[in-house]
Amino acid sequence: MTKESKQPADGPLAEDKNEEKGESGLHMNRRVFLGTVGAIGGTLLLGRPVKSHAAEDFEGYPNSFGLLTDLTACVGCRSCEKACNEENKLPAPDKPFDDSSVFEEKRMPTQKAYTVVNRYENPKDKSKPIYRKIQCNHCKEPACLTSCPIHAYSKTPEGAVKYNPDLCFGCRYCMTACPFYIPAYDYWSAFEPRIMKCTMCLPRIKAGKMTACAEACPVGAITFGKREELIKIARERIDKNPGKYVNHIYGEYEVGGTNWLYISGVPFEQLDFPTNLPKKPLIEETKGFLSAVPIVLTAWPALFGTIYAALRHREEIYEEEKGEGKKEEVKK
């Protein structure tokens, strides 16, 4: 038996040459060990996020309420803005609610107005502009809720995305997460800043009423009811007047569906609706990554540490044996 035969060698031929079962057994065990660790690690990394609890589909609360804005019906009277202002006891607007000069620029909801109406040119009839009401769309699976690190948001069975100012600590992640750029921040309040956005008049809904804007709308451009029923009404209107409407219920599938729905006579992108949104809720885009974070932080150090230790051990043995071999050569 020579020392050469003991040296770690690659390939089955080298193993066959080994006479000492112990040495070759150690070699094989290491390989099997590394393979097994790799397989387990891979399973943890790949399998876990896909099957994680959060990945299960949420179909939204059944019987939740919603609103349907018919953009062909709105006449830009701004009654909804006024009703919203009164209902939520918001500060008086800079310009009165019957002032049409606000239409000269495109507005977004602010901390002083949960909803605003913008004017667009009507390509079908220049004399009758299109008015678009903007407010929180109350997503079925809201990005603001999932981005909030402190659970200041909740999705209520009534359909509203509710914000709790008592929990909010002002990180404003929700503002960047919202695909519709809706949450506004009350920067002007020095001691009690908070996110300001449409509440879907949750107290009114709970009291058996409809939202203030829907009740105020004189032309039926805002219809309040069960979301499922509103989809049927919207579908029926489109089917009965295919020339009047584009065949799209905005909010039926956008970002997993929203409780506020829209039908329009012109394509939605012409009215500045974001039309590049996925049909899946936005959380689906980050869920895989986010659920991998805890595993990366716990399993990866253990896995790579073990691999490193195993390789280091192998090198140490190699160095040791190399050293011993030299000594023997010197003795000879």
Partner 1 sequence: MKKRACIVVGLSLSILFAAYLYAGDDPSASAASSAARLPGIRVLSSISNWYEPVTFDHAKHVAIAGKCGACHHHGNGNTSSCEQCHKLSPSVFKNSVVNNFLPCSGCHGAPDRENPSMPGLKVAYHKKCFECHRGMGNVGLDPKGCTELCHAKKMEKVGMRSRP
Footprint of partner 1 on this chain (CB under 8 A)? Answer: 65, 68, 73, 75-79, 82, 85-86, 89-92, 97-100, 127-129, 208-210, 214-215, 217-220, 223-226, 229-230, 233
Nearer to partner 1, 86 or 319 (CB): 86
Nearer to partner 1, 99 or 239 (CB): 99
* Residues with Cβ within 8 Å of residue 229, at least 6 apart in sequence: none
Nearer to partner 1, 123 or 301 (CB): 123
At its nearest, how many Å lie between partner 1 and the CB of residue 93? Answer: 10
User: Is the Cβ–Cβ distance between 119 and 103 less than 8 Å?
Assistant: yes
Q: What is the DSSP letter of 150?
A: T
Tokens encoding 25 = 């057994």
Which one, of 290, 230, 284, 286, lies nearest residue 262 by Cα? Answer: 230
Nearer to partner 1, 49 or 251 (CB): 251
Nearer to partner 1, 92 or 190 (CB): 92
At its nearest, how many Å lie between partner 1 and the CB of residue 192? Answer: 11
At its nearest, how many Å lie between partner 1 and the CB of residue 111? Answer: 11
Nearer to partner 1, 116 or 178 (CB): 116
At its nearest, how many Å lie between partner 1 and the CB of residue 83? Answer: 9
At its nearest, how many Å lie between partner 1 and the CB of residue 277? Answer: 26
At its nearest, how many Å lie between partner 1 and the CB of residue 160? Answer: 14
For helices 21-51 and 283-331, the axis angle rounded to 10 degrees is 170
